[in-house]
Structure 1
Amino acid sequence: MSSREVYPNAPLVLVAAEIRHPDAGTLSDREKQQLKRALADELPVARPLNRPAGMVATIGPGVAAPQFQPTTAISSPRFLSRDLITSATFHADAVVIETTEYPGFEAFLALTQRVLSARLSVGSLDGVERLGLRYIDEIRVPSVGDTSSWRDWIGPTLLGPNHLADQLELTNDAWQGISTYSGKLDAGDFEQMSLVLRYGTGEGYALAPDGDLRRKTPPPGPFFLIDIDSYWGPATQAVPELDLNAVTSALEALHGPVRTLFESSITDRLRDEVLRRDGK
């Protein structure tokens, strides 16, 4: 069992796991029905994810500007919980699990294992091309009226040049930042990892309240974004075998720095006065 503290008023608005694999083609109606039966206890609502043709922005390592690529119209099988807060989507080249109410990493990982096991039961996959965990936080506190107020709640490493506002006798209206990290990932064939941190002030919502997944919807207002993408992607042309145990170990290793990074980015005042409250 984990000893990590679970905050009753956590600022997480979306957690996602992605297992990307070589294109396996469109699932047949029979295979979709097999998946539906396998996931019926937890994700009984079938609601395909339809994406129209258009352009999609992709962001790679580093701080380069997004690249836009044309996409074709697709429809991917997707299964949701009855409360519409958790989903599993089966693209031709990826399995994606998402939730807007995070039950803790161990429970989320167990769900990811069950979803991936269900996918493998209807047909083999040729390997793994990317593994990723995404955590999006909207940090909100009642007393924040302007950007300078975040100094009491967010650690100085994420406040950037905000402290210069007083010297300039100006107001720092907004800021955004991105940091990238890389290092060893001790998980069999998955030897290297990358982590991208995006952060800054925002207004309204980072995750739209009218999306496909239901989310807790506080009144719109100022928030501080902490968006962490921890992932493995092959440094060579090698494509490791998609082994369920190996993928589980790699996801556990990818999760390690996520919690450390989040905790180092906030203050004790935020923990005591906001995150440890009951959320009411």
Structure 2
Amino acid sequence: MGPREIYPNPPLALAVVELRHPITAALSEAEQAALKGCLAEVFPLSRPAPGAVSMTVTPAGVTNEQTPPSPRYMTRDNTASVTFRLDAIAVETTRYVRRSTLRELLRLAVDARQKVAAADGVTRLGVRYVNEVRAGIEGPADWAQWINPDLTNIASLEAGTTGLARSWQGMAVFGDQQEGVVLRHGNLNGYAVNPSGDLRRPTPPPGPFYLIDLDSYWTPEGETPTFDWDIIESRYDAAALNAHALFEQLITDKYRREVLRRDQ
């Protein structure tokens, strides 16, 4: 296999690696300080991620549970972060360059976690790419110029006197429960990744875009493997390459020539 092309004008708005592990105790203040010390060269800013509220309905009534904020560390340019949840490590970036660069950020996070408060094993690895495909269109049917017609053919369907399809969203699952890719797609308007979020991102003018959201995953079968970098690295590479292979099938040559290879 030859080297994969790095496009000068990619549609990727957000890349995320989520590495799940058995639930652990909350990190103490001393452990959080130790994590910050391990990560300081790349992620010097401590900005805890907000906790979440979960609602449980029982015969006795409704109860709300508040999870505490998660330790999160960010780069100075606010384009990448690593979050340590009770059950996962999440590395996110809005400035994705290549697979190896994101892999090194993941390794830094894994090494820090294992040095400070080791996780017991790996329960799931997911690599997610959220793409906002933007190109010149006059109407929904024009997406067929840029996106594989297998995804856009619904634009030719007509519902009686109400006219053609104006918008659509879909999901497809490739693979099985252990390994695969979940594709979410559709023609939308605005942004898939909030420009006002905690991570700073390039902000094109709002308007129509085609969402290609890929979640490539691996879940161990049977035993829970150790939190070992050699295992994590090989599974990360495989998941990322599976997502890349699918993405290349979802876009047209016209999109490659006229948009992806265009210098910004």
TM-score by length of 2: 0.91
Q: Please report how far the alpha carbon of residue 198 of structure 1 lies from its aligned counterpart in structure 2 after TM superposition.
A: 0.5
Question: Residue 177 of structure 1: which of 170, 173, 182 is its match?
Answer: 170
Question: Residue 207 of structure 1: which of 193, 198, 204 is its match?
Answer: 193
CA–CA separation in structure 2 for the residues paired with 1:170 and 1:50: 44
Residues 36, 73 of structure 2: 8 Å contact kept: yes
CA–CA separation in structure 2 for the residues paired with 1:134 and 1:14: 8
Pair 1:169–1:268, CA change in 2 (3 A): farther
CA–CA separation in structure 2 for the residues paired with 1:106 and 1:121: 22
Q: Does 1:53 align with 2:53?
A: yes
Q: Please report how far the alpha carbon of residue 55 of structure 1 lies from its aligned counterpart in structure 2 after TM superposition.
A: 5.3
Q: Does 1:262 align with 2:247?
A: yes
CA–CA separation in structure 2 for the residues paired with 1:206 and 1:38: 32
SS in 2 for 1:201: strand
Match of 2:108 in 1: 114
Match of 2:59 in 1: none
Residues 127, 215 of structure 2: 8 Å contact kept: yes
Q: Does 1:149 align with 2:142?
A: yes
Residues 144, 153 of structure 2: 8 Å contact kept: no
Question: Residue 138 of structure 1: which of 132, 156, 167 is its match?
Answer: 132
Question: Residue 230 of structure 1: which of 213, 216, 230 is its match?
Answer: 216
Q: Please report how far the alpha carbon of residue 73 of structure 1 lies from its aligned counterpart in structure 2 after TM superposition.
A: 3.1
Query: Tell me, which stretches of 5 or more residues in structure 1 are unaligned?
Result: 57-68, 185-191
Pair 1:22–1:211, CA change in 2 (3 A): same
CA–CA separation in structure 2 for the residues paired with 1:264 and 1:97: 26
Residues 150-169 of structure 1: CA deviation (Å, up to 9, x unaligned): 11111112114223359989
Q: Please report how far the alpha carbon of residue 215 of structure 1 lies from its aligned counterpart in structure 2 after TM superposition.
A: 0.8
Pair 1:49–1:169, CA change in 2 (3 A): closer
Match of 1:60 in 2: none
SS in 1 for 2:157: helix
RMSD: 2.3
Residues 133-175 of structure 1: CA deviation (Å, up to 9, x unaligned): 001000001x213211111111112114223359989332001
Match of 1:276 in 2: 261
Residues 185-219 of structure 1: CA deviation (Å, up to 9, x unaligned): xxxxxxx3021101110001111111111111111
TM-score by length of 1: 0.86
Pair 1:197–1:277, CA change in 2 (3 A): same
Match of 1:100 in 2: 94
Pair 1:126–1:181, CA change in 2 (3 A): same
Question: Residue 242 of structure 1: which of 199, 224, 227 is its match?
Answer: 227
Q: Please report how far the alpha carbon of residue 124 of structure 1 lies from its aligned counterpart in structure 2 after TM superposition.
A: 1.6
SS in 1 for 2:27: coil
Match of 2:68 in 1: 74
Match of 2:156 in 1: 163
Taking every aligned residue pair, what percent have the same amino acid on both sides?
A: 41
Pair 1:194–1:146, CA change in 2 (3 A): same
CA–CA separation in structure 1 for the residues paired with 2:64 and 2:201: 30
Residues 17, 126 of structure 2: 8 Å contact kept: yes
Matched pairs, number: 258
SS in 2 for 1:49: coil
Residues 49-87 of structure 1: CA deviation (Å, up to 9, x unaligned): 11242459xxxxxxxxxxxx9652321110001010100
Pair 1:226–1:70, CA change in 2 (3 A): farther
In the alignment, residue 10 of structure 1 is paired with which amino acid?
P
SS in 1 for 2:83: strand
CA–CA separation in structure 2 for the residues paired with 1:228 and 1:55: 28
Query: Tell me, which stretches of 5 or more residues in structure 2 are unaligned?
Result: 57-62
